Structure 1
Amino acid sequence: MLGLFALLLLMLLMAIGLPVAWSFAGVLAYLTIVYDVNLNTLMLQGFRSLNSVVLVALPLFILTGYLMQSGGIARRIVDFVGRIATGRGGMGTAMVLASSIFGAISGTATAAIASIGSIMTDPLVQRGYPRGRIAALLGISSLLGILIPPSITMILFAVVTRQSVAACFAATIGPAALLIVGLILYNRFLVGRAFEERDIDVGEREGFGRVTVKALPALSLPLIILGGIYGGVFTPTEAAAVAAVAALIVGGLIYREYTWRTLGRSVVQAAETTGSIILILLFSFMISRIMAFERVPQDLTEAIQTIASSPISALLIVNLVLIIAGALMDDISVTVVVAPLFLPVMVANGVDPVHFAAIVACSVVIGANSPPVAPTLFLSCKICRAPILAAVAPALGLIFFVALPVMLVTTFWPALSLAIPRAFGLM
C-alpha cells in the first residue's frame, strides 16, 4: 500500500507543477524514509543500471531531432507532403504525414510540435482551420514520433523492462499505421461539418519535381535509419549515431541552413533534455529497486486479479490506469515507472512484454493530450497560438474517435503489434 501511495505522490507532485526530476527525487526520499533503505547502496545500484550501451542512443536521437528542426529538414518534408496531400482535408492530412515522417527520424514529440507546428499553423489558418483544432491535431499527430521507430520512449521501455530495443521499435509500427489512417479519415470527415477548408491563391509555386528533389535528402533519412536497423546493418544504438551524422550532413552540406549559433543552440538543447531524462531514469531505477524489494508489483498483480473477473477486465483496468497516469504525468514518467509496475499484471494475463510496449505507447498518445495536465496539448497550443479551452473539445474528439479505438485494437489484437517483430525474427 505504501508503494502505491508513492505513485499517487508522484502524480500529485507533478500535477502541482514541480519539475519532473525533482518530483521523482521527492518520491525517492519518501520511500527511503518509509522503508529505511541504505541510500548509498541504492545509489550505487542506480548508477549500475545507467551503465547501458542502449542509453547511448538517447542523446543522439534527441540531438537528431533538434538538428532537423534547425537545419531546414522539417520544412522540406512539409513542402513535399503538402504537394502530395491534396483533396478534401488535404492540409490536415499533410500535417499528419509530415509528423509521421519527422517522427521516423527524430523519435520525439516535442521536436515535431516545434518544427511542424511553426511551419504549418499559418497555412492551415489561411485555409479555414480553427487554431484550437490545429493544436489538437498537432498534439495527437506529433506523438507518432513515439509510435514510429526510432522512438525515445521505446528505448526507455526496453531499458527498464530488459526487452529488445529493435523488437519494441517494431511493435509500434502497426498501431502507428492505424493511427495515421484514423487521423486522416477523421479530419476528412470533419471538413464541411465542423469547419470549411478554403482554397487560397498561393501564387507562384515550385513544380512538384523540384520540391521532390529538394526533399529527397530529408526523406532518405528514415529509409537509412529503419532500413539499417531491420536490415541488420547496424544496431539501434549505432543507428542513432548514423541519424545524427546524417542530419548534420543534410542540414549543413546540402541545405546549408546551419549557423554556428543555431548549431550550438541545438547541442545545448539536446544536452539539457538528455540531462533531465537521465536524472529521471536514475531516480526511477532506484524507486523501482525499492518497489521490487517490497514486492509492490506482485501485490498490485494480486489486487487486480482479485478485482477483475476475467483477463479482459484486467486488461481494461490496466489500460484505464495507464491513461489516467498519462493525463497526470509525462510520457517518460509513465514509461519508466508505471509501465514496469504493471508489466507483471499484463504477463499474468497472457500479454507479451513486447506487446505491452505497444499498449504503453498508445496510452501515452491519449494521456499526453488529456486534461488536466496534457503536456503535449499545452505545448501545441503555445506553438499554434491557440487558447487551451479552444483545443480541449477537438482533442477529446480525436481521442475518443481515433486514439482510444487504436489503443483497444492494439490491446485485444496482439497480431497488430507482434506480427512485424516476429517477421524480422526479433522475438
Structure 2
Amino acid sequence: MEPVYGILILIALMIYGVPVAWSFAGVLAYLVWAYDTNTTTLFLQGFRGLNSVILLALPLFILAGYLMESGGIARRLITFMEASVKGRRNGLGSALVMSSAVFGAISGTATAAVASIGTIMVDPLAERGYPRPYTSALLGISSLLGILIPPSITLILFGVVTRQSITALFAATVVPAIVLIIGLIIYNKIACKTFLREFDEAQAAKSDDHKPTQTDAERDGFWKSAFKAIPALLMPLVILGGIYGGFATPTEAASIAVVLSIAVGFFIYRNLTPKRLITSIVKAGETTGTIIMILLFSLMIGRIMVAESVPQDLTKFVTSLTENKILILLIVNAFLTFVGMIMDDVSVTVVIAPLFMSLMVSVGVDPVHFASIVACSVVIGANSPPMAPILYMACKIGKASIHESVKPALQLIFFVALPVMLIVTYVPSLSLFLPRLLGVY
C-alpha cells in the first residue's frame, strides 16, 4: 500500500499548493522512511540517472522556445497562419490550431505556445466573434500539440525514464498529432457557425459601425506574411530534418535550434535584444531547474519502487482483474486520464508512466506505442478540472472565466481529444508506422 499512499501524498501536496518539485521530495521522504532505504546509494543512483547527454536537449529546447517568443519568431508564424486563411473568420480558429502545431515543432513546450500564441491571437478572435471561453479552451487543447509534435520535452523525459530511443519517440507521435489537428479544425468549423451567426445578429441589432482592429495578417496580405515567415518556417525543417536525416542527434538539434533562434531574432527580425536574451536565459534556467529537480526525485522514487517490485505487483493486480488486452488498455487510459486531471504532464510522464511499462510489455504493447498513449492522455488531463494547469493558463491569457471555459473544453475533449486517444490506443500502426518507415525503430 506504500506506493498508493505515496501517490495520495503527492496529490494532496499539489492540491495544497506545495511546488511540484517539493511535492515529489515529500513523497520520496515518505518512501525512504516506509521502506528503510539507504539514502546514500539512492542519491548516487539518482545523480547517475541525470548524467545523460540526451538530457542536454531539455534546457536547450526550453531556451529555444523562450527565444522564439521574445525574438518575434512566434509572431511571424502566427501572422502567416492567419494570412493563409485569407481573413475568413471560420478559419481563424484553424489558424490558431496550426500556429500551435508549428510552434510546437520548434519549442516542444505547451506553456510557451499558450503564452505567445494566446497573447497575439485571443483579442483579434474576440473582436471577430469568437467567445473568449471557447477561444481559451481551443488554445489550451491546441497548445498540447507541442507534446505530440517533435521535439517534445515530455517525450525526452519519457525516453530518459524508460530508456527508449528519443528519435523513435519523436517519430511515433507525429501521426497522432496530425489526427488531432484535423479533428480540432473540423470541430472548429462546425462550432463557429453558431456563435459567429449569433455575434453577427447581435452586432446588427446594435447597429454598431465599429470595425475590428486590423491584424498584421490583414495588413500584410498572404505573400508578404509568407515572405516574412520564411526564416521561422525553415527552423522546424532544419531541426527535424537534421534528426531524421541522421545529421544530428536530438541534443545537437536542440543546440541548432538555440543558435538559429538567436540569429533570426537578432539579425533578421531584430526583435531580440540583449535584455530579452538574458530574460529568456533566466526563464529557461528556472524552468529547467524545476524539471530537473522533479526528474531527480522521480528517478529516486522509481529506484525504490523497482527494488520493491511495485511494477510487477501492479501487473499482477491488473491482470488478476482481467486478461483481456482491450480492457487492460481501457483501464490504463482511464487511470492516466484521471491522474492527468490532478498532476501535470511532467509528473505523469516521469512517475506514473514507468509504473505501467511492465504491464504494457506483458500484454504486448510496444513501449514506443505506449509513449503515444501517455502523450495523448496528457492532452486530456492538462485541460480537465480540477487542476487543468494549461486550461487555467489559457483562461488567464484569454481573459476568460475558468467556469465558463470548462464547458467548451470538455466538449473539445469529448468530441476530439478522447476519440483521438482511443484511436491511438487501439490502432498501434498510427504510432509505429513512421518510426519504422524512417528506420529509427
Q: CA deviation at 1:346?
A: 1.1
Partners of 1:413 and 1:9 lie apart in 2 by: 35
Q: Deviations over 1:90-126 (max 9, x none)?
A: 1100100000000000000000000000000110001
1:134 corresponds to: 135
Amino acid of the residue matched to residue 236 of structure 2? P
Q: Report deviation, 1:85.
A: 2.1
In the alignment, structure 1 segments of 5+ residues that lack a partner are: none
Structure 1 residue matching 2:385: 3-state secondary structure: coil
CA contact (8 A) 1:132 1:388 kept: yes
Q: What's the CA shift for 1:309?
A: 4.7
> Secondary structure at the residue paired with 2:247?
coil
The answer on whether the counterparts of 1:4 and 1:296 sit within 8 Å (CA) in structure 2 is no
Post-superposition Cα deviations, 1:106-157, rounded to whole Å, max 9, x if no partner, equal 0000000000000001100011111111110000000000000000000000
Q: Alpha-carbon deviations, 1:205-242, whole Å to 9, x = none?
A: 21322111110000110000011111111011100000
> How many pairs are equivalent?
427
Aligned AA for 2:84?
A: I
Contact 1:347 1:353 in 2 (8 A): yes
Q: What's the offset of the Cα at 1:261?
A: 1.6
Aligned amino acid, residue 3 of structure 1: P
1:26-425 matched pairs, under 5 angstroms = 26-86=26-86, 87=88, 89-196=90-197, 200=212, 202=214, 205-425=219-439
Please report how far the alpha carbon of residue 421 of structure 1 lies from its aligned counterpart in structure 2 after TM superposition.
0.3
Contact 2:345-2:378 within 8 A present in 1 as well: yes
- For 1:311 and 1:230, locate their aligned partners in 2 and report how far apart those are by CA, in whole Å: 32
CA distance in 2, matches of 1:202, 1:35: 63
Distance 2:129 2:244 in 1: 41
What residue in structure 2 maps to residue 25 of structure 1? Answer: 25
Q: Could you tell me how far apart the structure 2 residues matched to 1:15 and 1:83 are?
A: 42
Give yes or no for contact 2:124–2:213 (8 Å, CA) kept in 1: no
- Within 2, Cα distance between the matches of 1:95 and 1:19? 31
Larger mean CA deviation between 414-423 and 78-87 belongs to 78-87
> Take 1:71 and 1:192, find their aligned partners in 2: how far apart are those partners?
35
Tell me the TM-score normalised to structure 1 length.
0.98
| CA drift at 1:4 | 2.3
For the residues of structure 2 that align with 1:13 and 1:304, how far apart are their CA atoms? 27
Q: 1:315 & 1:207 partners in 2: Cα distance?
A: 48
1:9 corresponds to 2:9: yes
1:213 and 1:242, CA in 2 relative to 1: closer, same or farther beyond 3 A? same
Q: How many angstroms apart in 2 are the aligned matches of 1:278 and 1:221?
A: 26
Is the partner of 1:149 in helix, strand or coil?
Answer: coil
Q: State the distance in 1 between where 2:119 and 2:68 align.
A: 13
Counterpart of 2:180, as a letter, is L
Distance 2:299 2:103 in 1: 30
Distance 1:53 1:270 in 2: 18
Q: 1:260 to 1:417 in 2, by over 3 A?
A: same
1:55-83 per-position Cα deviation (integer Å, ceiling 9, x unaligned): 00000000000000000001000110001
TM-score between the two structures when normalised by the length of structure 2: 0.95
Per-residue deviation at 1:202? 3.2
Structure 1 contact 88–188 (Cα < 8 Å) conserved = no
List per-residue Cα deviations over 1:294-316 (Å, max 9, x = no partner): 01100001111111251110000
Deviations 1:341-380 (A, max 9, x none): 0111111111000000000000000000000000000000
Tell me if structure 2 keeps the 8 A contact 1:132–1:390.
yes
Distance across 1 between alignment mates of 2:367 and 2:174: 16
Deviation of the 1:195 alpha carbon:
4.4
Structure-1 separation of matches of 2:382 and 2:213:
36
Residue deviations 1:266-309 (CA, integer Å, cap 9, x gap): 00000000000000010000000000000110000111111125
Amino acid across the alignment from 1:26: G
Give the residue type in structure 1 aligned to 2:33: I
Q: Identity over the aligned pairs, expressed in percent?
A: 61
Letter of the 1:173 partner, please give it: V
Higher mean C-alpha displacement, 335-344 vs 5-14: 5-14
Distance 2:259 2:131 in 1: 38
Task: State the distance in 2 between where 1:12 and 1:201 align.
Answer: 46
Tell me how far apart the structure 1 counterparts of residues 74 and 25 of structure 2 sit (CA, whole Å).
36
Amino acid at match of 1:284: S
- CA distance 1:61–1:217, shift in 2 (3 Å): same
For residues 200 and 267 of structure 1, what CA distance do their matches in structure 2 show? 36
**Stretches of structure 2 lacking an aligned partner (at least 5 in a row):** 201-210
Cα distance in 2, alignment partners of residues 26 and 195 from structure 1: 49
- How far apart, CA to CA, are the structure 2 residues paired with 1:311 and 1:332? 27
Q: Which letter maps to 1:109? A: A
8 Å CA contact 2:129, 2:195 repeated in 1? no
